[in-house]
Amino acid sequence: MSRRTRLAFVAVLAGAALGGLAGVAHPDDAATEAALLAAPEAPAHDPRAVRRAAEDALERDPADDRAWRALLAAVGRLADRDLLDDAIDRARATARPDLDPALGRALLRRARLDTPPDAERLREAATRLAPAETAGAPADALSLAHARHLLGDVAAAQRAYERALDGDEATGDLAWRGLESLLGHDDARLGPLSAELVARRPGCGAVVRGRADVLDRTAPRAGWDVLLGAKALLATSPRTMVALARRLRKADDRHADALALERRALAAAAGDVVVLDAVEVAWRQARPLASVADVDAFVADADALLAAVESDRARAFSYRNDLAFRLRDVVAAFAWRGEGRTQGLAAGAPREARAWLDRVVAWYDGAVARIPDDAASLPFAQRWVMAGVLNDAGLMRHYWRDVRDLDRAQALYLRAFDLTDGAYVDTYHYNLQYLFGIERPGQEELWLALARRASRSVLKEGPDGTFVPDEGKREAARKDAEALERVLRDRATPK
């Protein structure tokens, strides 16, 4: 699997089309329905299930404001124009003032489904959300700011963004990014604003981190002083911890100090995926593994990170694959290499290396276990990613003699091949070729069927993220098919 594909895992899998990986909660009892209605925006709650629960509740009680809010949130997440229009019209007809914020958010989402965003809906959204500029939920102020921003009302949008800074860390960071966009990412304007906001909101992590970013762009390391001076935030804000840790690793190679901050951030993350993703990237890409102690600590820390995302199926899947790839590279440094890509732990490898190899296999197997049974119904880009995991899990069982299981390897390869309709290039070239040509002769009929499919279907990743035919590999598969046809024909011809 290419490095670009591996780095794109979470971005691909966390989208709205996640399908089976997200897990679908069904409102089949009162407790489940109550949980869905109480947190309709929760990533773990499938919006289709939330919508069903809301409609059921409204059928029992058309005046249930909580159900109305859940319905508007659910159809907004589904981004379905017709469902949004229907829910908005019905909610408007109730003339219930308490629904104004939810209606405003739904109108904003509906407006943004048009290109350009529908101005009439934006104005209604801004009107319904207007009280959030001075009172109510900061998250509603953020929606108000977005509506005003799209309407081109810069001064009013800035007031709403600044009010949204009073929200939690996620809302605050979105508000700061909104301000950056509103001011054209112009540091000459963002510099004075960030200084003023830090003076007024010294405990606001989003403002402090934003100020540090502005200073870093204008004077190297200047942002460090802002972060290091934010003692209270460094004690309580996981996002600020990882922001400083990133700078320590990148600019000063202070990996031990960065690791201490990342461990603290992980312990305090409480499911904050921005923190979890930052830690995963740092440990996969920037963390030195120069000794046995380093690697053992990496394994232990990685297990703690995986435990933190156990309920997030997409990240539990992608983190396992990415961490396994990193540890696999470490183990490979202690391997002998033989014919047919075989390898194994060499004499003189540290005794811990076998445990590391077993952990690689376990992480890959854990990722495979999180591929949904209905994966074949998911979009092709997601199936390509999953095929990469299946392929990598298979090659561990194929080439690594210490953990070899050719039945398992073949099953994983064939699943990867089928999941992409024969398109995943690395599975046929060269893993299935090596498996049937070297380790498992006698399966020429199956190999022929696979070669024919590969000759029509093999794709490669294009530079723009698309998938394009790999004509060279298709031609190689055609030659395999021709040779296998001759073998089978000669075998069937009486001597």
Q: Is residue 475 part of a domain?
A: yes
Q: What is the DSSP string of 317-381?
A: HHHHHHHHHHHHHHHHTTEEE-GGG-EEEPTT--TTHHHHHHHHHHHHHHHHHTS-TTGGGS-HH
Into how many domains does the chain fold?
1
Give residue 3's pLDDT: 43
pLDDT for the residue 16: 35
Query: Cα-Cα-Cα-Cα dihedral of 312, 318, 319, 325, to 10°?
Result: 170
pLDDT at 494 over 60: yes
DSSP 118: P
Q: Report if residue 107 sits inside a domain.
A: no
Q: Tell me the three state secondary structure of residue 397.
A: helix
Q: For the residues 426-437, what does the mean pLDDT come to?
A: 96
pLDDT in tens, 13-65: 544 334 445 444 444 577 789 999 999 998 878 999 999 999 999 999 999 99
Task: Indicate whether 465 belongs to any domain.
Answer: yes
CA 200/CA 388 separation, integer angstroms:
49
- Report the mean per-residue pLDDT for the chain: 93
Q: What's the distance, CA 213 to chain centroid?
A: 24
Domain coverage including residue 479: 405-495
Mean pLDDT within 80-84 = 96
Residue 424 forms part of a structural domain: yes
pLDDT of residue 27: 43
* Residue 35 located in a structural domain: no
Spatial contact of 31 and 56, defined as CB atoms under 8 Å apart = no
The CA distance from 176 to 173, in Å, is 5
Q: Which long-range contacts (CB under 8 A, 24 or more apart) does 304-308 make?
A: 304/266, 305/266, 305/276, 305/279, 305/280, 306/363, 306/366, 308/266, 308/269, 308/271, 308/276
Decide: 167 and 157 in contact? Cβ < 8 Å: no
- pLDDT value of position 1: 55
Sequence-ordered list of residues with C-beta below 8 angstroms from that of 292, at least 6 positions apart, any chain: 350, 352
Ramachandran region, residue 185 (left: φ > 0; alpha: ψ -120 to 50; beta: rest): left
Say what the alpha-carbon torsion angle 423, 424, 425, 429 is, to the nearest 10 degrees: -100
Does 312 fall in a domain?
Answer: no
How confident is the model over 228-284, as pLDDT tens digits?
999 999 999 999 999 999 999 988 789 999 999 999 999 999 999 999 999 999 999
**pLDDT confidence of residue 7:** 44
pLDDT digits (tens, 9 = 90+) for 318-374: 999 999 999 999 999 999 999 999 999 999 999 999 999 999 999 999 999 999 999
Q: CA neighbours within 13 Å on the CB side: how many for 295?
A: 21
Please return the burial class of 399, using the count of CB atoms within 10 Å of its CB with bins 0-12, 13-18 and 19+. buried
Q: What is the pLDDT of residue 373?
A: 92
Q: Above 70 in pLDDT, residue 304?
A: yes
- What the block records as the tokens of 61 is 């009680």
pLDDT the model gives residue 14: 45
CB atoms closer than 10 angstroms to residue 489: 9
Q: Is residue 456 part of a domain?
A: yes
Kindly list the distances between the CA atom of residue 22 and the CA atoms of 43, 285, 463, in Å, as whole numbers in the listed order: 8, 26, 29
In a domain, residue 175? The reply is no
Query: Which residues, other chains included, contact 372 with Cβ-Cβ below 8 Å and sequence gap of 6+?
Result: 19, 20, 21, 378
Give the C-alpha separation, 57 to 64, whole Å: 7
pLDDT digit string, tens, across residues 317-328: 999 999 999 999
pLDDT exceeds cutoff 80 at 107:
yes
